[in-house]
Structure 1
Amino acid sequence: MKKLHKLVAVIMTSMLTIGTTSPIYAATTKSSQPFDDISSSFARQNIIDLAKEGIIDGTGDRKFEPKKNVTRAEFITMTSRLLKLQPVDSDIVTFSDVPRSAWYYGWVQAGIHLGIVEGKGMNQFQPDTRITRQEAAVLIVRALKEERDSSANVELPYQDRMKVADWAVSSVQVALKLGLMRGDQGSFRPNDYVTREETAAILDRVFKDSYWSKVLNTTPASNIQLGWQNASTTAQYIATIKQSTINTLVPRWFFFDNNNDKPLANYVDSSLLTYAKQNNKKIWAMLGNRSNAEWTHTALTDLVRRDNIIKQLTAYVKSYGLAGINVDFENVSPQDRLPLTSFVTELTKSLHTVGGVVSIDVSPDLGTDWTDAFDYAALGKAADYVVLMGYDEHWDGDPIAGSVSSLPWVERATNKLLTSVSASKTILALPLYTRDWTIRTSGATSEELSLVKQGQRLRSVWSSKSWDSNLAQYVATYTQNGLQHRIWMEEGRSISSKYLMAAEHGIAGFAYWYIGAETADIWTSIRNVNRYSSY
């Protein structure tokens, strides 16, 4: 992350001070400023400029109340607006003291999903608690993704440096270095509360900095956002796509078939072709094998049959105007490792002649028979994209209960794939489902839940949940019919954590299994994390 350079000297002269005589401003009319009570504020121009941008607002009746202290909810709201984030109406409530009905609910959720802000104690956010200067320093430095000195050798140039909490020392140092906050008369006063005018001054210094001004006003580069259709009609699929970030559609249209005369089944829907063309969406139609190892072996090793399938797919890509084919084979025998690579190689060469691309879905390399068919390095060279299915860490039928997609597991899988496949060809697929595990002494069983059903399930029972920072997931528990149930939850915060991790590698994009299983707020979280990861 590029470091935020020191602000120019003219901004430094208006450093955050408390008790300093306010500058004298020229007389202004009420109509020239958004609030009637800011004329004598040292941050008058900061307030005017941020209000114009919609980053801050008043308290009603044309009042700003510049000397009023800022609450934790207010500070994260203004910071999130500065970062051009959107409020997230999460289906899953994070804090017991931040109800969905609260005006700041979506802003707190946006901040917590990206790790900008944290709670205060067990399941509490304390939204109405006034924020101190040292807390403000920590939050703004974290929001800007600035590196902090974790050593114990940080020396602050303040008389009251011993009053600065250990957890805030490095952030206070960075805030000073960047010109965002400064003390007064040799003191930082870490436990003093921040006022509304002081907050405006801090945020406006970021907003007007030459580097951050450019960053905040730059539209993030587009990446691949791929969404599989599953268990939905075309109309339902399109309706969900309209609300999403998806730019690459993957309908389940082509399958190997055990028919010598017609080895490729075709389920193309013209209405989706029309929608995609009219709305600038790409279609990478899925080629599946129905999880049939025998049919797959025949299709891959019978050279005449394989050639016919490739020719037919190429013709379909050309005639339907498809952007490509997404190869999704499951239960491929280890003996077909080389034939699979050859098939993908030949398919890619053929599709390139008509402007199409090939992506292939692969499971994480676990060193088992399930993944022996994937020659990751060879497939990475042959195909245009490799889609890593970052889910099924614990699967249907697994006797051990656990997460579908914990952050450490996905990170290991991503790192391993990137040793064989370039980041520019890698797409990480994230789950829009989870599993409700029933815990028995004889072992665990599970039921797959869409994210919609997950929320409905947990609201229908008395349950408790806690955030597992190691897994980057909430774990919910409840008891029904005398049996304990456990859900490793997937929602905006867990998905954002995995997205941020993978985005650091500069991968080509993300995919989601499956479209229609998510709650609407997921797309807001993804828009936020996509923007924030670009900073």
Structure 2
Amino acid sequence: MKRTLGRVGRGTVTALCAASLFMPRASAAQALPFEDISNSYARNEIIDLYNQKILTGTSTTRFSPSKSMTRAEFLTSLDRLLKLEPVASPISPYADVPQNAWYYGWIQAAVQLELASGVSAKFFAPAKAVTRQEAAVWLAKALKKAAGTASVSTAFEDGRDIAAWASSAVAAVYRLGLMKGDETGNFRPSDPITRQEAAVLLDRVLQHKGWAAELAARPKERIVIGWKYGQTTVQYENNILKSNVNTLSPRWYFVGSTGAVTDSTDTGLITWAKKKGTNIWAMVGNRSDQAATHRMLSSAATRNTAVNGLAAMAKKYGLDGLNLDFENVAPQDRTALTTFVTLLAEKLHANQQILSVDVSPDLDTDWTEAFDYGALGLQADYMVLMGYDEHYSGSAVPGPNASLPYVQKAVNKILQVVPSEKVILALPFYNRDWTLQQTGAALSSEFISFTEQNQRMQRYSMKPVWDASLGQYVASYTTQSIKHTIWLEEGRSLIAKYHLAVKQNLAGVAYWYIGGESADIWTSLGNAEKYYDYSF
């Protein structure tokens, strides 16, 4: 039998609910991992992929090579090929993908990265056999080859039968030699793909030396800041251990009107961070006190007092840097703030320490008028763009905390005057629950963590709907005849914004605040960190 992806099993399709969970029993006398693959043309590929934990059997002893592969099985194997992890997200976009299903986390991982979609807006059809053209689309997306308008209508006898939505993907995998036609020159786009065909297809990816090297490489090192807020040091450390954060930013210093700096340094955290090889850029705040900040910035003497005090503390405690978070600064203090940052940067740089400066998106309002992005970007090592508070506690109109278009616009604007390698995108680990008036206007909003958001979603049986234009799920509930709406922040929405940071070649990301996230978030972000660094 030829080793070609033209051969397709035509047996009855059955749901293999736990097919990817069965692992064969090892035995010293057993030459093959499965008893039914000795005559399969994909015998070697099946063994190789089994050994790499990419493919498993339909039982502990059988692989069922001629059986059709389900959509859930194929996507699971593709995720494993990409070294992704299953995501226990609290939100499923599909009614037929229950959280207790073995494939739930694998489908979530792919959907969050936009590698796969359902057969409709509400259904994924996990037990349905995956067709050859569906497999081509998913594989092309996984290998970042989906873009393009190439057609294969003339490459196959049945090229006209290939769906328009699959045409460019089929062209890509055909051009790459991953999928071919059968002996009669047909692609058979709507035929199910068999498990042994899938084995050959996935193995061909691994046989490509460049792709195999990408899959084995470590992700690119980016700055990942995790701000400490509302947690004990022990709680903060425990959450950091679960994360990919490599730069800690505890709120230790506040500058007052006289330039005096309050010192809340926790030397225990410094010791812990050094043992873990983690940097500390301690946060410096102004408590959003505009009047006190104006008095400090207006005098050269008080400015110098603050700069010298901060530099002395950074040197005394052996910090890697400082993170300046001055908010609600008066527009009239624009020049003085730039002078302050210039002086502080000089002091820190003399000790080989980093200065990062937090700024809000420039919306042409008084809130950000004090920040001369271009001038500050020349002096500071990094500009941390706080990509949230699109709609905040005082907003008259309810809306998302950080929609994708809002963050995209903010990034584009700062990149006009600050180079991308100096920009860090800060993303939210918090959200708002909006209480609405009968007119739809905002009555009030409540600051909530992701855990609180998810608890409310479960308590009120909310049905989130993905809004592609915002890059977020939206859900509503009613209690005591009052309507609430939440523009949800979770793994999928955060990945969309993380992808923006990667596409724009930013220096890294930051998260406000550690402890606000739910347990699934780090798996989602870990998948994104890994996948978006592949350059197939």
Q: Does the alignment reach a TM-score above 0.5? A: yes
Equivalent in 342, 360, 364 of residue 363 of structure 1? 360
2:8/2:197 contact within 8 Å kept: no
Residue aligned with 1:464, SS: coil
Deviation at 1:415? 1.2
Q: TM (normalized to structure 2)?
A: 0.93
Letter in 1 for 2:425: L
2:229/2:514 contact within 8 Å kept: yes
Letter in 1 for 2:282: A
- What is the aligned partner in structure 1 of residue 20 from structure 2? none
Q: 1:30 to 1:66 in 2, by over 3 A?
A: farther
Letter in 2 for 1:57: T
Q: Distance in 2 between matches of 1:14 and 1:342?
A: 70
- What is the aligned partner in structure 1 of residue 346 from structure 2? 349
The alignment yields a C-alpha RMSD, in angstroms, of 1.6
2:431 matched to 1:438? no
Residues 307-326 of structure 1 mapped to structure 2, 5 A cutoff: 307-326=304-323
2:178 matched to 1:180? yes
Deviation at 1:155? 3.2
- What is the aligned partner in structure 2 of residue 275 from structure 1? 272
Deviation at 1:128? 0.7
2:8/2:66 contact within 8 Å kept: no
Residue aligned with 2:492, SS: helix
Gaps spanning 5+ residues in structure 2: where?
A: 10-27
Residue aligned with 1:355, SS: coil
- What is the aligned partner in structure 2 of residue 302 from structure 1? 299
Q: 1:19 to 1:232 in 2, by over 3 A?
A: closer
Equivalent in 289, 293, 304 of residue 292 of structure 1? 289
Equivalent in 13, 18, 22 of residue 7 of structure 2? 18
Letter in 2 for 1:461: Y
Deviations 1:8-45 (A, max 9, x none): xxxxx94422179xxxxxxxx96343222111111111
Q: Distance in 2 between matches of 1:451 and 1:360?
A: 26
- What is the aligned partner in structure 2 of residue 6 from structure 1? none
Letter in 2 for 1:446: S
Q: Distance in 1 between matches of 2:289 and 2:126?
A: 54
Q: Distance in 2 between matches of 1:460 and 1:270?
A: 41
Residues 49-64 of structure 1 mapped to structure 2, 5 A cutoff: 49-64=48-63
1:91/1:519 contact within 8 Å kept: no
Residues 453-464 of structure 1 mapped to structure 2, 5 A cutoff: 453-464=452-463
Deviation at 1:195? 0.7
Residues 396-475 of structure 1 mapped to structure 2, 5 A cutoff: 396-441=393-438, 443-444=441-442, 445-475=444-474
1:254/1:267 contact within 8 Å kept: yes
Equivalent in 377, 380, 399 of residue 377 of structure 2? 380
- What is the aligned partner in structure 2 of residue 336 from structure 1? 333
Q: TM (normalized to structure 1)?
A: 0.93
2:8/2:194 contact within 8 Å kept: no
Residue aligned with 2:409, SS: helix
Q: Distance in 1 between matches of 2:475 and 2:162?
A: 36
Letter in 1 for 2:314: V
Deviations 1:183-230 (A, max 9, x none): 111100111101111111111111110110111010011111101111
2:137/2:146 contact within 8 Å kept: no
- What is the aligned partner in structure 1 of residue 222 from structure 2? 223
Deviations 1:487-535 (A, max 9, x none): 1000000000111122011111000011001001100111100111101
- What is the aligned partner in structure 2 of residue 207 from structure 1? 206
Letter in 1 for 2:472: Q
Q: Distance in 1 between matches of 2:283 and 2:516?
A: 18
Q: Distance in 1 between matches of 2:437 and 2:131?
A: 48
2:178 matched to 1:189? no
Q: Distance in 1 between matches of 2:61 and 2:322?
A: 57
- What is the aligned partner in structure 2 of residue 24 from structure 1? none
Deviations 1:332-370 (A, max 9, x none): 000111111111111111101112100000111111111
Deviation at 1:92? 2.4
Q: Distance in 2 between matches of 1:432 and 1:132?
A: 39
- What is the aligned partner in structure 2 of residue 520 from structure 1? 519
Letter in 2 for 1:356: Q
Letter in 2 for 1:198: E
Letter in 2 for 1:272: L
Letter in 1 for 2:327: E
Q: Distance in 1 between matches of 2:39 and 2:335?
A: 76
Deviation at 1:454? 0.2
Q: Distance in 2 between matches of 1:514 and 1:58?
A: 42
Equivalent in 155, 159, 165 of residue 161 of structure 1? 159
Letter in 1 for 2:375: A
Q: 1:160 to 1:30 in 2, by over 3 A?
A: farther
Letter in 1 for 2:153: E
Q: Distance in 2 between matches of 1:106 and 1:232?
A: 29
Deviations 1:292-342 (A, max 9, x none): 011111222221221122122112112211110000011000011111111
1:411/1:502 contact within 8 Å kept: no
Deviation at 1:124? 1.8
Q: Distance in 2 between matches of 1:147 and 1:109?
A: 20
Residues 65-144 of structure 1 mapped to structure 2, 5 A cutoff: 65-144=64-143
Residue aligned with 1:126, SS: coil
1:30/1:36 contact within 8 Å kept: no
Residue aligned with 2:368, SS: coil
Q: Distance in 2 between matches of 1:394 and 1:61?
A: 53
- What is the aligned partner in structure 2 of residue 8 from structure 1? none
Q: Distance in 2 between matches of 1:453 and 1:251?
A: 23
Letter in 2 for 1:99: P
Deviation at 1:282? 0.7
1:324/1:356 contact within 8 Å kept: yes
2:28 matched to 1:39? no
Q: Distance in 2 between matches of 1:278 and 1:19?
A: 55
1:15/1:179 contact within 8 Å kept: no
Letter in 2 for 1:162: R
2:152/2:170 contact within 8 Å kept: no
Select between 74-83 and 116-125 the one with higher mean Cα deviation: 116-125
Q: Distance in 2 between matches of 1:381 and 1:132?
A: 54
Q: Distance in 2 between matches of 1:379 and 1:478?
A: 44
2:224/2:247 contact within 8 Å kept: yes
Q: How many pairs align?
A: 512
- What is the aligned partner in structure 2 of residue 495 from structure 1? 494
2:460/2:477 contact within 8 Å kept: yes
Gaps spanning 5+ residues in structure 1: where?
A: 1-12, 21-28
Q: Distance in 2 between matches of 1:397 and 1:119?
A: 38
2:434/2:486 contact within 8 Å kept: yes
Q: Distance in 1 between matches of 2:29 and 2:179?
A: 30
2:153/2:162 contact within 8 Å kept: no
Q: Distance in 2 between matches of 1:99 and 1:321?
A: 50
Residues 247-286 of structure 1 mapped to structure 2, 5 A cutoff: 247-258=246-257, 260=258, 263-286=260-283
